[in-house]
Amino acid sequence: MTAAVFSIGTEITRGEIDNTNAAWLSEELTRIGLLVAEIAAVPDDRTLILASLERLGRDHEAVVCTGGLGPTTDDITSECVAAVLGVPLERDDVSFETIRARMERFGRTMAPSNAKQADFPQGATILPNPHGTAPGFSVRVGRAHMYFMPGVPAEMKPMFHDYVAPAARALVRDAAFQIRLRTFGMPESTVNDRLAGIEAEHGVTIGYRAHFPEIEVKVLKRSVDLPTAEAGARSAANEVRSRLGDAVFGEGETTLPAAVGALLRERKLSFGTSESCTGGLVAELMTEHAGASDFFKGAVVSYANSAKSDLLGVEPALIQAKGAVSSEVARAMAEGARRALAVDIALSLTGVAGPGGGTAEKPVGLVHFAVATPKETIDRNVLFPGTRRYIRRLSAYAGLSLVRRVLLG
């Protein structure tokens, strides 16, 4: 029982967009319990599309396709499917009326090019699209159940969840349950070593996904029914948690900044940052989700030394004596931010993000950070590897990780 993910679109084969649909669908199908044995993409070319559809229909039991359902002349997926099946295209009146009404609602009149989006291979099952004009459809090609969806992620994802996922689940004999644990601060090879043996002991599959610099650990359990699968996944996930210790900061979609935000909200503490090398990145991460104003008051990005002194009250003599990248200045920045922003807890970061500006004593990648609380100020420093972008992101996460540990005591 194998599955394939198939994308149609010249914008993909010319490399004009990253095919994020393919990764998303592969992950979802794997979670359902299908083996994705192939990912394929072809341009908007009739010959190439026909050849791929025939081949995929021979090689797999389930094929999930995106793209080529739009109104333009490039969009030829439906006619290619009809040609492979040797059936005509037929207008679906309900879809036609839905498209017409949708366009009217947005103040547009329906062109013949939109009308074609209501044409489907004879015998196809139509998959409604409440988020756009192009409905999807499913047909049998060869031995494969094939599902055709629009390429726009915001239209494709709900259609997948509402229609394709239940159908795909029905193809799999056993049930599957997955738990996603989010980690930071432990290299993937160490995580891997620490989790050795859990797959065999618990009969689960452990997978990884990098959301740099976080690593997500996915624990997948398949069993005869869903309650058994869920119980098995929970038991294995507990084992993972105990082996990884406080590198695990959350589950599912919870990022490290969101986990820190939740702790601050729960404890009714206000928070702010003073940032040099990260240039505002921590503030941006902390305000990514709505409701951040419950705990986040503001930040001072003190990129120039004058801003460190004028806005945070860091003594110019201290910067002169110790250098802007030093534990003393990091501490003074954190304490200055607590005062200037009138917050309970402040995080500061100052470092050499590179690629230039490093010295033997203070090399590229050296970052000092400090957390000031009403009770004390704690500082740390780390030498990060990698490019400027990596160093900045790692610094931001390391700083937030220190805030999390301070909050947890």
Contacts of a second copy in 160-219 (CB under 8 A): 207-210
Cβ neighbours of residue 166 under 8 Å, at least 6 residues apart? Answer: none
- Closest to a second copy by CB, 124 or 282: 282
List binders of a second copy among 333-362 (CB under 8 A): 340-342, 353-357
At CA 237, angle to CA 232 and CA 240, rounded to 5?
135
**How many C-beta atoms lie closer than 10 Å to residue 293's C-beta?**
8
How far from each other are the two terminal CA atoms of the chain, in whole angstroms? 50
Shortest distance (Å) from residue 51 CB to a second copy: 8
- Closest to a second copy by CB, 125 or 387: 387
Rounded to whole angstroms, the Cα distance separating 165 from 105 reads 30
- Closest to a second copy by CB, 84 or 124: 84
Q: Figure out which of the listed residues 53, 283, 345, 398 binds a second copy, where binding follows CB under 8 A.
A: 283
Q: Figure out which of the listed residues 8, 25, 159, 175 binds a second copy, where binding follows CB under 8 A.
A: 25
Q: How does strand 366-372 pair with strand 377-383?
A: antiparallel
Residue count at the site for a second copy (CB under 8 A)?
77
- Closest to a second copy by CB, 95 or 255: 255
Per CB under 8 A, does 128 bind a second copy? no
Where are any strands of DSSP class E within 150-264? Answer: 175-183, 204-211, 214-223, 248-251
Cβ neighbours of residue 327 under 8 Å, at least 6 residues apart? Answer: 368, 370, 379, 381
Shortest distance (Å) from residue 20 CB to a second copy: 6
User: Among the residues of 60-121, which ranges form H helices?
Assistant: 77-85, 93-105, 112-115
Per CB under 8 A, does 313 bind a second copy? no
Q: Are 7 and 66 in contact (CB under 8 A)?
A: yes
Shortest distance (Å) from residue 29 CB to a second copy: 8
Q: Figure out which of the listed residues 298, 328, 373, 377 binds a second copy, where binding follows CB under 8 A.
A: 298
List binders of a second copy among 220-279 (CB under 8 A): 272-273, 275, 278-279
- Closest to a second copy by CB, 139 or 281: 281
Rounded to whole angstroms, the Cα distance separating 234 from 219 reads 9
Q: Figure out which of the listed residues 8, 32, 33, 36 binds a second copy, where binding follows CB under 8 A.
A: 36
Rounded to whole angstroms, the Cα distance separating 224 from 119 reads 40
- Closest to a second copy by CB, 124 or 340: 340
